[in-house]
């Protein structure tokens, strides 16, 4: 499946028990010798009886991560297509808490991504004092970022243009910067107007992807927090567009976008 080109292998671990180790995930993610994907999504029975499913996410390097917005939309389409549920509003457990998915009549999916956090320890991000914008020394230059957690850690960097070499070099350097103990996803945001941005995201453990749902959420809320953007924003990513809404402190982020099935198959582990 894919959400705006951010691609996933989705596995039904409700109908049967399925377990993956790091080596298996790395082999499956290899685009030349395996299936190929940005992330592996596992659909499991919930631990909390009030939830409909449990949702687990693994990067292509085998590390488990907390959140994935594009994957959440694919998750919703998958459980409906597989007739694991007939609900249009689906409540899901994730590693970082609860999430609600709403499947719209046009097939698009709105994901309640929860409240963002700008508290450095929530990413985590080590600081001497709390500020609205932080300057980090990266690749012999000073880079200004807004750190924000949307269930996983992001560093949002506002740029005038989205240069390939700059995104690759600064993205890789920032991802593993020492002030982010668990590494970080890096968003490069170009503001077109108060309701429209362009965005490229260098994801930790993956590299740059065609689209990143949590990255779009992080960029928009960072822009709103800084006073650069209004509360409803269209984020243009390389793979397509996402609609992000955030009404400010205390409100959840709402992300709306498509999800698509590419093919279905079986593999023996």
**Considering Cα of 47, then 50, then 54, then 55, what sign does the dihedral take?**
negative
- On the question of pLDDT at 96 being above 80, the answer is no
CATH 1.10.10.10 fits 120-251, yes or no: no
Return the CATH number of the domain spanning residue range 2-114. Answer: 3.10.310.10
Please state, in angstroms and rounded to a whole number, the distance separating the CA atoms of residues 116 and 258. 22
* Confidence (pLDDT) at 205: 84
Confidence of residue 67 (pLDDT cuts 50, 70, 90): confident
Catalytic residue flag (residue 68): yes
* Confidence (pLDDT) at 151: 87
The torsion defined by the Cα of 118, 89, 105 and 14, in degrees rounded to 10, comes to 100
**pTM for this prediction:** 0.91
Mean pLDDT of the residues in the chain: 95
Same fold, 2-114 and 120-251: yes
Q: Considering 25, 40, 68, 218, which one is annotated as catalytic?
A: 68
Judge whether 106 and 256 are in contact, CB under 8 Å. no
For the chain, the structural domain boundaries read 2-114, 120-251
The CA–CA distances, whole Å, from 261 to 122, 201, 205, 221, 241 equal: 34, 23, 24, 29, 18
- On the question of pLDDT at 32 being above 80, the answer is yes
Catalytic residue flag (residue 217): no
pLDDT in tens, 182-210: 999 999 999 999 999 999 999 998 899 89
- On the question of pLDDT at 104 being above 80, the answer is yes
Please state, in angstroms and rounded to a whole number, the distance separating the CA atoms of residues 245 and 26. 35
Judge whether 52 and 44 are in contact, CB under 8 Å. no
pLDDT in tens, 133-180: 999 999 899 999 999 999 899 999 999 999 999 999 999 999 999 999
- On the question of pLDDT at 91 being above 90, the answer is yes
Confidence of residue 268 (pLDDT cuts 50, 70, 90): confident
Alpha helices in the chain (DSSP H): 22-29, 69-81, 164-175, 213-225
Q: Considering 199, 212, 237, 255, which one is annotated as catalytic?
A: 212
Which residues are documented as binding site for substrate?
6, 39, 59, 69-70, 152, 185, 203-204, 213-214
Share of the chain above pLDDT 90, in %: 91
């Amino acid at each position: 499946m894919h959400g705006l080109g951010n691609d996933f292998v989705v596995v039904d671990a409700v109908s049967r028990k399925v377990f993956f180790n790091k080596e298996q995930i790395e082999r499956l993610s290899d685009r030349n010798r395996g299936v190929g994907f940005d992330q592996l999504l596992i659909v499991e029975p919930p631990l909390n009886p009030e939830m409909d499913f449990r949702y687990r996410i693994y990067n292509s390097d085998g590390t488990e991560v907390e959140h994935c917005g594009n994957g959440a939309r694919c998750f919703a389409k998958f459980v409906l297509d597989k007739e694991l549920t007939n609900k249009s509003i689906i409540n899901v457990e994730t590693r970082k808490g609860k999430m609600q998915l709403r499947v719209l009549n046009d097939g698009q999916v709105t994901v309640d991504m929860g409240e963002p956090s700008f508290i450095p320890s929530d990413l985590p991000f080590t600081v001497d004092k709390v500020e609205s914008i932080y300057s980090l020394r990266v690749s012999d230059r000073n880079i200004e970022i807004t750190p924000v957690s949307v269930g996983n850690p992001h560093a949002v960097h506002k740029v005038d243009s989205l240069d390939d070499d700059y995104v690759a070099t600064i993205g890789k350097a920032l991802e593993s910067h020492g002030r982010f103990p668990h590494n970080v996803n890096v968003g490069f945001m170009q503001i077109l107007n108060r309701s429209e941005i362009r965005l490229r995201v260098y994801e930790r453990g993956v590299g740059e992807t065609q689209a990143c749902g949590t990255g779009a959420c992080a960029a928009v809320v960072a822009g709103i927090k800084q006073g650069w953007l209004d509360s409803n924003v269209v984020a243009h990513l390389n793979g397509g567009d996402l609609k992000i809404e955030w009404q400010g402190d205390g409100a959840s982020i709402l992300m709306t976008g498509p999800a698509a099935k590419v093919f279905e198959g079986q593999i023996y582990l």
